[in-house]
Amino acid sequence: QIDEAKAAASVENLRSPICCILGHVDTGKTKLLDKIRQTNVQEGEAGGITQQIGATYFPMDAIKQKTVVVNKDGKMEYKVPGLLVIDTPGHESFTNLRSRGSSLCNIAILVVDIMHGLEPQTIESLNLLRDRKTPFIVALNKIDRLYDWKAIPNNGFQDSLAKQKKSVQNEFKDRLEKTIVAFQENGLNAALFYENKNMGKYVSFVPTSAHTGEGIPDMLKLLVTLTQQRMAEKLMYLSEIECTVLEVKVIEGLGTTIDVILSNGVLREGDRIVMCGLNGAISTNIRALLTPQPLKELRIKSQYVHHKEVKAALGVKIAANDLEHAIAGSRLLVVGPDDDEEDLEMEVMSDLEQLFSKVSTS
């Protein structure tokens, strides 16, 4: 079984990276997410974008469509199967787990308002990303608010900028420079994405507008390129499961459920699972694995699709007994045939102790 896993683990067989969005309030995080999703909702289900529990899945076909304008030479490579974007900006499980080594997010988008530059929560987010060693890009959002900006909807950024008046180009350069300097003052080297010659050392800035859609193709292209170039190893399928509890919710007809992000591996109906609970570790069996019906409103009850088995990366709802005291942010483990349940219980609970000791000392 291990050989099989190893054989499957190659750069030709990568799982989808998981992307989080964070930044200061009102910089446009929610709007950016809406904008990426929306263009495809209009095109119906053809793009294959699916709403998941707490996340949205973009298959590579959808990303290809959305990056056409910045891939005119056809040289862009698409190796990952898609991208899973966590829906809730600044979700607590992202911050909750800051003391742990492994991370829910493989890559992050830090959103900055070009009219405001660096703000207090931007610095908080920066420190968080740095602590967690999460690679990220910066979306320099709201470029349409530059004085006299003439929008070309959903265009690539460079082309849009080239078509602006000199005064607009100058205002852009000025604001970009100021933000780059502010980042430097916080110990971070940054560069405009198409001038960035060293993605390992410099963080890329992508100018975007969540209103006009400009720069969004560039942002998607950068996310895909960066994950493929810099994280192939992290994106290989593992036989071991990697799963995080996002939320604990009572659902009529299902009882207490947990919404989880499965980052790697496979979950099956009936699996014995272990996670952190307020009164000690919780061990229980998966009664149902659920995802929303395609294109239907998430919150309507009994609209779920049942699965016998789900594969990473995706968002899924788990129904099981004894979930009342589960803790959002907890890791979820599966008890395998050779595992000792008590060992796993101790393992997940050690996360919690680390978390509390971190909290009390900081």
Binding positions for ligand GDP, rule: CB under 6 A: 25-31, 89, 141-142, 144-145, 209-211
* Residue 17 C-beta: closest distance to ligand GDP, Å: 22
Burial per residue of 216-246, b for 16 or more beta-carbon CB atoms within 10 angstroms, e otherwise: bbbbbbbbbbbbbeebeebbbbbeebbbbbb
* Residue 145 C-beta: closest distance to ligand GDP, Å: 5
- Could you give the CA distance from residue 248 to residue 24 in angstroms, rounded to a whole number? 26
Spatial CA neighbour of 220 closest among 178, 159, 157, 172: 157
Spatial CA neighbour of 29 closest among 92, 86, 104: 86
CB 94 within 8 A of CB 42: no
In the complex with ligand GDP, the residue whose CB is nearer, 26 or 347, is: 26
* Residue 360 C-beta: closest distance to ligand GDP, Å: 30
Structure tokens belonging to residue 335: 């008890």
In the complex with ligand GDP, the residue whose CB is nearer, 86 or 312, is: 86
In the complex with ligand GDP, the residue whose CB is nearer, 87 or 144, is: 144
CB 2 within 8 A of CB 10: no
* Residue 206 C-beta: closest distance to ligand GDP, Å: 12
- CA–chain centroid gap for 79, Å, is 18
* Residue 322 C-beta: closest distance to ligand GDP, Å: 35
Residue nearest ligand GDP (C-beta atom): 28
Sign of torsion over alpha carbons 148, 154, 155, 156: positive
Structure tokens belonging to residue 299: 């919150």
- Could you give the CA distance from residue 232 to residue 127 in angstroms, rounded to a whole number? 24
In the complex with ligand GDP, the residue whose CB is nearer, 41 or 278, is: 41
* Residue 267 C-beta: closest distance to ligand GDP, Å: 30
In the complex with ligand GDP, the residue whose CB is nearer, 55 or 80, is: 55
In the complex with ligand GDP, the residue whose CB is nearer, 211 or 325, is: 211
In the complex with ligand GDP, the residue whose CB is nearer, 193 or 304, is: 193
- Which residue has tokens 């599966």? 334
Spatial CA neighbour of 133 closest among 111, 108, 168: 108
In the complex with ligand GDP, the residue whose CB is nearer, 28 or 54, is: 28
In the complex with ligand GDP, the residue whose CB is nearer, 28 or 329, is: 28
Spatial CA neighbour of 218 closest among 336, 284, 138: 138
* Residue 121 C-beta: closest distance to ligand GDP, Å: 9
* Residue 141 C-beta: closest distance to ligand GDP, Å: 5
Quickly list DSSP for 79-148.
-SSEEEEESSTT-HHHHHTTTSSS-S-SEEEEEEETTT-S-HHHHHHHHHHHHHT--EEEEEE-GGGSTT
* Residue 201 C-beta: closest distance to ligand GDP, Å: 28
CB 329 within 8 A of CB 260: no
Residue 162 DSSP one-character state: H
